[in-house]
Structures are given as structure tokens and as C-alpha cells.
Amino acid sequence: MNIPVDQRLDLHAKRIVLGITGGVAAYKGAELARELVRAGASVQAVMTASAQRFVTPLLLQSLTGNPVATTQWDTTQPNAMAHINLSREADAILVAPATADFIARLALGRCDDLLSLLCLARPAERCSLLVAPAMNREMWAHPATQRNVQQVQQDGAMLLGPAAGSQACGEIGAGRMLEPDELRDGLIAHFQPKLLRGRTVLITAGPTFEALDPVRGITNRSSGKMGFAIARAAAEAGASVTLVAGPVHLPTPAGVQRLDVESACQMQAAVLPLAPQHEIFIATAAVADWRASKPAEAKIKKTAGLAAPTFELAENPDVLACVAALKDAPFCIGFAAESHDIERHAREKLQRKKLHLVVANHGPSTFGRDDNRLILVDATGSRELPQGDKLTLARALVAELAQRLQAAGL
């Protein structure tokens, strides 16, 4: 059964303490709890006294299915030590929102309520602390807050955000808490194995568009979803990722640097200077083979009685072949979207372009879909990655890539 990406159980069996402090963004904490539960996590909410002025414990209990912890003086705990029991049972503590005051208390090691006690008492080697700041832009920019954030990170906490945008006070700037789905994905990424830690990865994704006139053009049905999934998986695995994307409407994965292009020539111009700076190049983009040699300067109008226009075509540059031919070429992986004889065409591409690996699939069956089936073709043979959602396949491909790099001593 194929599971849509937004219904994946990436946090299955993970035990998460969700700390909610007293800021307007506390309402997002409730939605975040719902997202974490949907992702398979067991969520224990812990609310400060000020957080309860914005949302109620009843709401969080309804969303998580667990009683909400609100005080260190909880006598229902057998040993009356909620801060010890909850921190020992957790895989991670996520504080969202984390106010400026709460971050300051973390930096100083103050622990005068249950949530701060939990953060201080957690066994750091097996219970991570993730903090999602939420505050007014001036509060975020204040030197004291920046010092506190730096100290909290030095003490082992991971920062998620903040974002910039419209704030509850009516001002616009940095300090806005990330959205619940972004925080969910940040937590998921935290738990992914860091198989590419320290690596640099360059990825192309999506189609190209070759103009015939200012309105029409030559393109293809590639959605870019596979390339974007690989970019996300590589970033989750600890790599520094640059994504060169053709014309698609997909959100940029967290932590990924994105460059947008339109045509094959633009993609080549963006990729070639970057390729020598990266260890790995993954060419998932479906680059058009041909372009109009002389695109019309104005829209070509259809006129009754006149024959259809004809176009002289010029061959586009082969971006992947150009990168593979560089003197100090990165480890090159190509993609082949075929309509027939998939493995044969993939092997021909592998040999012709002198690649390390070709990932092949049946293009018409996967364009625009959220699932895929892949065949890995190299000099020694081939093997199949069974059908699954594209993010699952992307993570499997990242694991495969890490093994190959290690085997090659790279």
C-alpha cells in the first residue's frame, strides 16, 4: 500500500515531550501536537502556567490522548518526580513555542517550573532538546536574546527557526515560530541517520522549458517531486545541499539552497560553476534535448488558412555529460525516465556518459505521482527498489549512495 507523504509514520514509536510556553504562538503548539500524533509519535504535552492563558490543557489532552503535565508538584506520580520520569521516557523534548523568557532561563540553567526542570534533568545522550523560538522581532534581535540562543545551542540544544513574517503584534520581521508542519519535518529530520554528514550534494530537478515564443514552449511532464525528495533526504542525512530546479511549484526542503532556472542552457550555466565545489552530483532533472534555434519575439498567432508554423531546432547541452567530463568531476548519478526497454537504455546512458550509477524508472507511470519504482544500474549489474512513496525511495537512495561512497573510499 502506498502511503501519501502527509500520512507517513516517520515518528512511529518515538516518545516526544512537547513543551508549550506562554506566547501567542501557543495556538500553533496545539496543531503541532496533532501533526506529531499523525506522524506516529506518542506525545506528552507539558504546559507552563502562562501557556495555559492561551490554550487549555483539555485541548492538548484531547489531541494527544495523554493527560497534560503542568506542575512539578504532581503527586499523582508514584515518586512525585514528574521531571525525572517524563525526561527518562522521552526520545526528545520539543519546546514550541519557546519564548524569550524561557530561552533565557534555559541559558542560565534556571529550573523553577516543570518544563525547565525537564530540560535540565534530561539525559542528554539519549533525549534531545529542540527549541522553536517565537517572539517579537525586536525581542529576537536583542543582544541578550542572541547571547542566550548561542548559549543554549552550545549547551546542546537544536534550534528550529525562527522564521520571518507577519507577527501577532502587527509588525513584520524575524522571530515568528515555524509552522507546525515545518516543525514536524524538522523533528523527523533530527531522527534520520546522518549518513552524508559533512558531504556536499548538488541536485537538479524538474523539467526545463524551451521557449518557442513569449507564451509557448517545449517542456515535459516531470513534476520535480523525486528530485525535491532526494534533496530533502540528503539534507536530513546531514549533507549541504544545493538544488537547481526547473519551473515547478514545490516548496524548498528545509536546509536546502535553491536556484531556479527555466531552460537547459540556464541549468547548464548554473550547474557547471557549482559542480567542482560539490562531492556528489545527482541529475534528476528531465532536461529537454532540443530547443528552438530562433524563438519568435512575439506570440505566434494562428491565422485561418495559413499552414502551421515550423521550427528549426538546436540540440541542447547535455548537463550531466558536461559535469561527468570535468577533470575533477564529482560522484555522478544520472536518472533515466524511459518508456520502454528501461534497463537497456539506462545501461547505455551509464556507459555513454561514464557515470557511477543510473537510476531508471518508467516515466509515464510516475510523472506527477507521489510514488515510484526505481532500478539501480551500475557497471556490475542492476537491482530494483520496490514501489513506494518518493521520500521513502529518496532515503533508500541516500543510504545506497553512502554505502557506495564508503566502498569507493571517497
The C-alpha atoms of residue 68 and residue 45 are separated, in whole angstroms, by 5
Partners of 336 in the β-ladder: 360
Whether residues 246 and 121 share a domain: the answer is no
Instruction: Please write the tens of the pLDDT for every residue from 264-292.
Output: 999 999 999 999 999 999 999 999 999 99
Could you tell me the residue range of the domain that residue 126 belongs to? 7-191
Q: Out of 111, 127, 169, 322, which one is annotated catalytic? A: 169
Q: Are residues 34 and 138 in the same domain?
A: yes
Continuous H helices in 51-113? 57-64, 82-89, 100-108
Confidence of residue 7 (pLDDT cuts 50, 70, 90): low
The answer to whether residue 1 is domain-embedded is no
305 and 396 share one domain: yes
With bands split at pLDDT 50, 70 and 90, how would you rate the model's confidence at 366? low
Q: pLDDT tens-digit profile of 254-266?
A: 999 999 999 999 9
* Domain presence at residue 2: no
At residue 258, what is the residue type? R
On the question of pLDDT at 80 being above 80, the answer is no
Residues 25 and 91 in one domain: yes
The CATH number linked to 13 is: 3.40.50.1950
Give the count of domains, the chain.
2
* 48 in any annotated domain: yes
The strand pairing partners of 201, in sequence order, are 241, 280
Question: What pLDDT, on a 0 to 100 scale, did the predictor assign at position 365?
Answer: 65
Cβ pair 48, 200 in contact under 8 A? no
Q: Which of the listed residues 164, 191, 218 is the one where a domain comes to its end?
A: 191
pLDDT band at 132 (very low <50, low <70, confident <90, very high): very high
Residues 142 and 258 in one domain: no
Q: Where are the extended beta strands (E) located within 154-312?
A: 158-159, 163-166, 172-176, 200-205, 210-211, 217-218, 240-245, 256-260, 280-283, 290-292
Split at pLDDT 50, 70, 90, the class of 311 is confident
What percent of the chain clears pLDDT 90, i.e. is strictly above it?
Answer: 69
Shared domain check, 306 and 263:
yes
* Judgement on whether residues 238 and 317 belong to the same structural domain of the protein: yes
Last residue of some domain: 125, 159, 191? 191
403 domain residue, yes or no: yes
**Which residue, of 191, 211, 228, is where some domain finishes?**
191
The verdict on 161 and 247 lying in the same domain is: no
The CATH number of whichever domain residue 262 belongs to comes to 3.40.50.10300
Q: Which of 167-176, 277-286, 330-339 has the highest mean pLDDT?
A: 277-286
Position 2 scores a pLDDT of: 46
Does 272 lie in the same domain as 123? no
Q: Are 27 and 55 in contact (CB under 8 A)?
A: yes
Q: What is the pLDDT of residue 364?
A: 61
Task: Identify whether 100 is part of a domain.
Answer: yes
Task: Examine the pLDDT at 123 and tell me if it is beyond 70.
Answer: yes
Cell of residue 335, nine digits: 536518472
265 is catalytic: no
Q: At a CB cut-off of 8 Å and minimum separation 6, what does 346 contact?
A: 336, 338, 358, 359, 360, 375, 377, 382
Average pLDDT along the chain: 90
pLDDT at residue 362 is higher than 70:
no
Residue 171 has pLDDT above 90, yes or no: no
271-284 residues labelled b (16+ CB within 10 A) or e (exposed): beebbeebbbbbbb
Q: Which ranges constitute the DSSP H helices of 65-218?
A: 82-89, 100-108, 114-121, 137-141, 143-154, 180-191
By C-alpha distance, which of 77, 70, 86 is closest to 20? 70
The answer to whether residue 11 scores a pLDDT higher than 90 is yes
Please tell me whether residues 214 and 238 are part of one structural domain.
yes
Instruction: Flag the least confident range among 98-102, 160-164, 178-182, 344-348.
Output: 344-348
Residues 207 and 159 grouped into a single domain: no
Confidence (pTM): 0.89
Same domain assignment for residues 284 and 187:
no
Max avg pLDDT among 3-17, 31-45, 155-169, 352-366:
31-45
pLDDT (average), residues 207-222: 92
